[in-house]
Amino acid sequence: MLIFAPAVFLGAFLLFQVQPLIGKYILPWFGGSPEVWTTCMLFFQVFLLGGYAYAHFIARYLKPRTQAVVHVVFIVAALAMLPIIPSAGWKPQGADLPTLRILLLLSACIGLPYFVLSATGPLMQNWFHRTNPTASPYRLYSLSNAGSLLALISYPFLIEPAFSRATQANIWSWSLGAFAIFAGVCAVRLWKSNPLKNRQMSEANLSKQSPKLGTRLLWLALPAGASVELLAVTNKICQDVAVIPFLWILPLCIYLLSFIICFHHERWYVRPVFLGVFILSIIAVAFVRAWNVDLSVIQQIVMYSAVLFACCMVCHGELYRLRPAPQRLTGYYLMIATGGAIGGVFVAVIAPLVFNTYLELHLGLLACCLFVLLADEKSVLRRGSRRWVWTGLIVAVGVVAVFAEGHRGDANKIAVSNTRNFFGVLTVWENDRADPAMHRYVLQHGTTFHGLQFVDPGKHSQPVAYFGKNSGAGLAIRFFRRKENRHIGVVGLGVGTIAAYGKKGDRIRFYEINPDVERIARTRFSYLNDCQADVDVIMGDARLSMEAEPAQNFDLLILDAFSSDAVPVHLLTVEAFEIFLRHLKSDGVIAMHVSTVHLDLQSVIWKMARHLNLKTAWIQNDEDEAEGIFASDWIILTRDGSFINQKAIQASATAPRSDFDRIDLWTDEHINLFQILKR
């Protein structure tokens, strides 16, 4: 155990340490969307499957000494792939297919090292069993998951705050070299062993203990259900808060923790207890969704973490109960990895194509209920006579959870369009059809409204929602010294409301990453079509587009990019603002929309402004439902103090807070979300 444990532990540690590291590198390149991490997870699951398949086939079909040689060759080849830092040449160009490009990028940068590390757990357990046939190898699986969990926990709290991304990548590369040494020692141990007798005993036992087809299918189904919930919960949390490594890592830690608990010893999984917790957690999710309960960020994270933990515990607990003899462990792990990959493909690829809303979280819960019932030999579904109460209750709660997803507000609110793609779910609502003065169309992304337009001709062309005349954007445009021939840049299209301010002779340049947003803005709303100014819409991530462009010399730059409730964090760093300022005239003005339920972005931007020597004004706009105005928070930034000192701006401005010094300066290398969470 002392020979194999270090290789298993370090291999698992590196396997999961590289996930948030490489994700952080590429997240800004693809718009900061939650689906970036979902696609990364798909890659990790598929390559984990590849590693497990490799381990299974060489363990079954190659002689021990041949296995040792082959695996050492793969390790050396993986070392030759270092370093793992992705080249800037992988940045997307225009309307590239993001999912495919992310998968190709990851394959080229970390494919072989990740493949080798993925094979470590099952292969080393097989080698351990060959050299120690009387000892159970399953504790090594628990140790492997403990290494993975430690890697994930240490990243946001120790690694990310202390080291730059380049330093992290270099440390990881040197650690892979240390892993190669430990794995080489294990290969030498296998080479020196004489496993002929043990192999004969294993083959004799293998024929006596062949699992049934139903059991093998459950080896697939149970991890698939848990994988669906892992990715669906991660999507949900990131969509409502922010897309950052910590919120990727938390659900993955819970997922791994359930493996550690269940596979350490069978006494830790107490079926009645965890089934009860599972049922209660599903009821909580269904209740919150169906009745639109308003929860704080901490409450949301706790609730979804609880349902994920309960789901994973029942799935992985039943999976451990169905484990085979150690002679079959590589095939068993291969089926588990296949199930995980199936779940990843369902959430990352199939669900966006098949569903126009986020149905996978609730459908996954219902599927897990079904799989757990099939795993219980005494359930009604297995023609048993007991636990019929559990059966009926779980199915009923699952159905309630699924139908809760379809709850769509009151009778005055009708969804006329639902669209889903890589960047999320867009819904167009038609509200108050019976009231001509309030009849309007509203665009919603995720959980947040992103613009509206009245049908009434008297209000049809008015700038509303977050962009009313007294908003930060409205004040910046109205009181800018040049009233004609203005060049306005807008990051984030929405329904195109800013176009309502355009006059003949003006130029307005929108940057939008989601092609469906432009389509909806031109077909369901009319701000763009009615605008008197010259309007351009540049497709692609705004930061990447502006980085590649010559200076645009904007008079005004409106920053209104949101992914549901959160501003993508790669637009909130020093490096991002340096790009924005390069495109701004010396007396130009930036108006940044920072309305968010969960994050204190005000402090982040003020810290940034002081670092870049910018003058600021904090503008808060109150809600006016009759006029279609949403409550909003804006910060106006400029090098020109005379603009900020205008009476109209000062009359609308709120005095700055004095406690923003506690916030770290955000850079591409360092972002600290914990400091700005609203509790």
CATH number at residue 466: 3.40.50.150
Output the CA–CA distances (angstroms, integers) from residue 618 to 471, 670, 679, in the order listed.
10, 25, 21
The residue out of 388, 407, 426 marking a domain boundary is 407
Does 115 reside within a domain?
yes
Same domain, 178 and 238: no
Q: Is 160 among the domain residues?
A: yes
Q: How many domains, in total, are found in the chain?
A: 3
Domain that holds residue 195: 1-207
Angle between helices 138-154 and 98-131 (to 10 degrees): 140
Rounded CA separation 426/429 (Å) = 10
Structure tokens at 21: 């590291």
Residue 443 lies in a domain: no
How far CA 380 is from CA of 278, 362, 391, in Å, comes to 19, 23, 7
Are residues 150 and 230 both part of a single domain? Answer: no
Low-confidence ranges of the chain (pLDDT < 50): 198, 200-202, 204, 207-208, 380-381, 385, 407-409
Task: Identify the domain boundary among 159, 189, 207.
Answer: 207
Q: Is residue 33 part of a domain?
A: yes
CA distance 520 to 496: 10
Q: Is the dihedral of CA 54, 59, 63, 68 positive or negative?
A: positive
Does residue 595 sit in helix, strand or coil?
coil
Same domain, 335 and 465: no
Q: Tell me: do 524 and 649 sit in the same domain.
A: yes
Q: Are residues 356 and 379 both part of a single domain? A: yes
Q: Are residues 372 and 463 in the same domain?
A: no
The answer to whether the peptide bond before residue 83 is cis (omega within 30 degrees of 0) is yes
Domain boundary among 354, 377, 407: 407
Q: In terms of domains, do 338 and 463 share one?
A: no
Q: Do 587 and 488 share a domain, yes or no?
A: yes
417 belongs to a structural domain: no
- Supply the CATH number for residue 238's domain: 1.20.1250
Residue 422 within a domain: no
Q: How many CA atoms lie within 13 A of 513 on its CB side?
A: 26
Domain identity same for 115 and 228 = no
Find, among 671, 679, 675, the residue nearest to 165 by Cα.
671
Q: Is residue 418 part of a domain?
A: no
Q: What is the residue type of 264?
A: H
Shared domain check, 91 and 156: yes
DSSP-based three-state secondary structure for 229: helix
| Rounded Cα distance, 308 and 236, in Å | 12
Cα–Cα dist 551/583, whole Å: 5
Question: What pLDDT is recorded for position 290?
Answer: 66
pLDDT for the residue numbered 659: 66
Q: In what order do the strands lie in the sheet with 440-445?
A: 413-421, 424-431, 440-445, 448-454
Radius of gyration for the alpha carbons in the chain, expressed in angstroms and rounded: 28
Question: Is residue 35 in a domain?
Answer: yes
CA distances from 8 to 2, 121, 246, 324 (A): 10, 6, 25, 21
Distance CA 326, CA 566 (A): 47
Closest CA to 306 of 288, 325, 328, 331: 288
Residues 24 and 145 in one domain: yes
Q: Which two tokens stand for residue 269?
A: 């999984």
| Tally of CA atoms within 13 A in the half-sphere of 516 that contains its CB | 16
Q: For residue 587, give the amino acid letter.
A: D
Same domain, 302 and 394: yes
